Structure 1
Amino acid sequence: MTLTSYQFKPENITTGIVHIGVGNFHRAHEQYYTNLILEEKDQQNWGICGVCLLPSDEHIVKNLRSQNLDYTLTVCGRDGKDEVYKIGSLRELIWGIEDPQAVVDKIAESDIKIITLTITEGGYNLDKETHEFNLNDEKIKHDLENPSQPSTVFGFVAEGLRQRKNRDNGSITILSCDNLQHNGDTTKKAFAAFIEAQDKDLAEWVRSNVTFPNSMVDRITPATTPQDVERLNKKSGIDDKAPVYCEDFVQWVIEDNFIAGRPNWEKAGVEFTDDVTEFENMKLSLLNASHMLLSYPSFLKGHRKVDQAMQDRSIVKFIRDYMDIDITPYVPAPKNTDLDVYKQTLIERFANHSVSDQVSRLCFDGISKLPVYVIPNLIKMINDDKDLTRVAFLFASYRHYLKYKVDDNGHSFDVAEPWLTEKDIELISSDHTLDFLDLSSFKSTDLKSSDKFVSLYTNFAAEIKNKGAGETLESIL
């Protein structure tokens, strides 16, 4: 294990970026890249001011503040060797619950040139069926009517931009770092809809003064348990209340569309491009979709850690067949990318014991993730009359997971699906297997119109109920 500490002087760093959502992934990804470029004297105006907006953020805020916002990042190699980085790029931290005005003032500052976001796939408040911004959400309605008392990310950013405009503090870029296809377009759609409904003058200013680049992010970063904190600190020899650990693979591809300037992140390995489409299609279709394929069948078979699932021959073959047979035809390889190497690397990454995640975390919020990661290619497969076996089995597994909440070994479990509607819950409870395909986020794709898909899905749902997910999976390999 090697320890690398930053060499710049924190007092020389000024903040040029506001980041909303200071979670583990952000601290293993954007902070990692930024920490590296701050070593360059001409880049020291790109420190990050973190912003936390949730009551549940109190713990991380207090822990980071107790150690001057520094923390350790342990990068776990597939070869079993770890590298520890002391990260110093987080220079300020504001908790919106404690000081909402400070968030607004920070966004309005002329030195801030970029707002970055990790607010999760479900955090953009788009209706699951219409894909339009939901203006009827109670918190959104509050923020629309009370601009100076924001509570949501949309309210805070709008008020900050309004103050920025009023003070003539210049243009700014809003950069999503969330796992969404065309995440910049999604961000623009969500914020523009909110601002248009709240303040038409500000909406006009935003059209000319704010850019929303698309980006593709990748680095497996598990949640950190109290046991992990103890283990990581023992390894590093540092008493860190907020350590993070992640895999050794890291990728960030960004559309180069920054209206007010940007850091030289390319010196730390970030790839800038005119169009991220092929990169994000590759990642969402292969990595994220494969995580979905892994999640519910593995959980129903009784696996609770991802690396444990990857020791199961049937799970590995299921994922690899999905990648090779079902998805590769729909993934044009980006420039300088070998797709076979990428797929093999994914299998190795999933099997990395050092960063093994909980399978339950992969299962979390499937109703938001399946329409993004799996359904776009499923629609293409249906239209091209392809083999739908593996995807139909996934949907049947997901239904069983939500409806019966018991695995092949008879162990019951709770599910975490924060975005299910009351109607969704009724459909899941129904004994009519096909009702499940009318869930809010599937309905617009009309999966029931494919006789082939319906037949496979219905049969698998019955087989999983009668024989279990494991035996059913064996029958299709």
Structure 2
Amino acid sequence: MMISQYQFNKKNITSGIVHIGVGNFHRAHQQYYTNLLLENEDQQNWGICGICLLPSDEKIVNNLRSQNLDYTLTVCGRDGKDEVFKIGSLTELIWGVENPKAVIEKIANKDTKIITLTITEGGYNLDKETNEFDLNNEKIQHDLKNQENPTTVFGFIAEGLRQRKSNGSGAITILSCDNLQHNGNTAKRAFTTFIENQDKDLAEWVKTNVTFPNSMVDRITPATTSEDIVRLNEKSRTEDKAPVYCEDFTQWVIEDNFVAGRPNWEKVGVEFTDDVTAFENMKLSLLNASHTLLSYPSFLKGYRKVDEAMTDKSIVKFIRDFMEIDITPYVPAPKNTDLNVYKQTLIERFANHSVSDQVSRLCFDGISKFPVYIMPNLAKMVNGNKDLTRVAFLIASYRHYLKYKVDDNGHSFEVAEPWITEEDKQLISNINSIKFLELSALKSIDLKSNEKFTNLYSKFTEEIKNQGAGKVLETII
């Protein structure tokens, strides 16, 4: 298979962007667009300096450094035809555990005009119920008191901005690329709250020197397993230690609010707009919510790959009904978008055999996903006295997944919930299923006082326990 090689000389590229969180999605999305853009000689001041802050990042850092920070991206077509790109837009890579000073200096550097983020939905340290920044977090408390020795993304960026202000390096944009409603507003709330509680003078500087555009990002990108590495390298005839693969669909819509200039990403397919609200509402409410909806019932039925789950007619009907009946009334179509085509495309994307995404990836960190993807529209459904059957079944499935950790076939599994609290654990273990509705992820709505919901939910929790999620699903489609 031919690899599309980049043609620019990396030595001529300046890092105008600092990106925090060099994971697979970032490498399949922002790096992909930027790699295409850097072929333009007038855009070569927009290379990306990647920053990793976690001890667990050591392997990816070492692997990328061993191959000049280059890697292959395999784009898996829904028609079965794949394309492979060699990505060279990652021009520097700093590991904060190894060299925290270099992280701060890079943020403060005058050439740096944009900080981009993929730190996950849970990474913004917001209270699940109030949506306010949690100042009582132990690591946040450490960073508030230790300006020059930060450990969190908030501490590092605050110290970098402080040095930037001191050095006269100028204004900068912080661009969230995470799946959050109004992710720029969310980032602004989180970072400005931290900074206001650490340094009032810096907080004043931030008001006029930092912008936080909202954006919508979309590209299904599975985790890369050791087996995937072998498979991808055999296909591309390379020896890449850090390959990534993704679907052929990609979209990036950004609010055009960059205080220090920006790349001309529109040359390579990025859409700039004055308001991303309709785009992000559509994506979070239909794609991300549907991913969450299919994840737990599919996992409990024994499916481990999304495309395999999408061969199950009951799963597909469940998703279609959710999209059509529960969600579409709350999703105004963005301009030039046909919602019916968008929904059909989602079904095709989920079923893409070449991508074969992991159901476990969709189940991961439900505590952070429910407040963003499920609860906002559920609140509208409750207020509108709508049919709550499908969402009640989802939440009952989520409880069973967390509490019993055994699927319909008797196979046990591990649960990955990095942001779960001790109080959450007690609510999950409680014999009274109604107590589960007080979970931090669900508390934005008083579900336990809604008799219509609790009747459905209680019925489903008992039936799933006694019959299995698969058999119960058959009764509601």
- What does residue 34 of structure 1 align with? 34
Unaligned segments of structure 1, at least 5 residues: none
SS at match of 1:354: coil
- What does residue 469 of structure 2 align with? 469
Question: If the length of structure 1 is used for normalisation, what is the TM-score?
Answer: 0.99
SS at match of 2:444: helix
- What does residue 334 of structure 2 align with? 334
- What does residue 301 of structure 1 align with? 301
- What does residue 191 of structure 2 align with? 191
- What does residue 254 of structure 2 align with? 254
Show CA shifts across 1:47-95 (max 9, x none): 0000011111111111111111111100000001010001111000011
SS at match of 2:92: strand
Q: How far off is 1:139 after superposition?
A: 1.1
Q: How far off is 1:333 after superposition?
A: 0.5
- What does residue 282 of structure 1 align with? 282
Q: How far off is 1:441 after superposition?
A: 2.4
Show CA shifts across 1:299-344 (max 9, x none): 1111111111001110000001100111111110000001011101
- What does residue 55 of structure 2 align with? 55
Q: How far off is 1:284 after superposition?
A: 0.4
Question: If the length of structure 2 is used for normalisation, what is the TM-score?
Answer: 0.99
- What does residue 79 of structure 1 align with? 79
Q: How far off is 1:422 after superposition?
A: 1.3
Of all paired residues, the percent bearing the same amino acid is 78
Contact 2:375 2:444 (C-alpha < 8 Å) held by counterparts: no
RMSD: 0.8
SS at match of 1:163: helix
SS at match of 1:198: coil
Distance 2:455 2:191 in 1: 41
Give the alignment of 1:397-412 within 5 angstroms. Answer: 397-412=397-412
Of residues 420-429 and 179-188 in structure 1, the stretch that sits farther from structure 2 once superposed is 420-429
**Aligned AA for 2:336?**
N
Give the alignment of 1:292-441 within 5 angstroms. Answer: 292-441=292-441
Of residues 424-433 and 69-78 in structure 1, the stretch that sits farther from structure 2 once superposed is 424-433
- What does residue 19 of structure 1 align with? 19
Contact 2:371 2:444 (C-alpha < 8 Å) held by counterparts: no
Q: How far off is 1:176 after superposition?
A: 0.4
Show CA shifts across 1:430-471 (max 9, x none): 111211101122223111232111111111111111111111
Give the alignment of 1:163-178 within 5 angstroms. Answer: 163-178=163-178
- What does residue 100 of structure 1 align with? 100
SS at match of 1:160: helix
**Aligned AA for 2:182?**
H
Contact 1:74 1:244 (C-alpha < 8 Å) held by counterparts: yes
Q: How far off is 1:127 after superposition?
A: 1.4
SS at match of 1:174: strand
Of residues 405-414 and 312-321 in structure 1, the stretch that sits farther from structure 2 once superposed is 405-414
SS at match of 1:355: coil
Distance 1:229 1:442 in 2: 37
Where in structure 1 do 4 or more consecutive aligned residues deviate above 6 Å?
none
Q: How far off is 1:281 after superposition?
A: 0.4
Distance 1:417 1:95 in 2: 24
Q: How far off is 1:357 after superposition?
A: 1.7
Show CA shifts across 1:149-168 (max 9, x none): 11110111000000000011
Q: How far off is 1:2 after superposition?
A: 3.8
Q: How far off is 1:25 after superposition?
A: 0.4
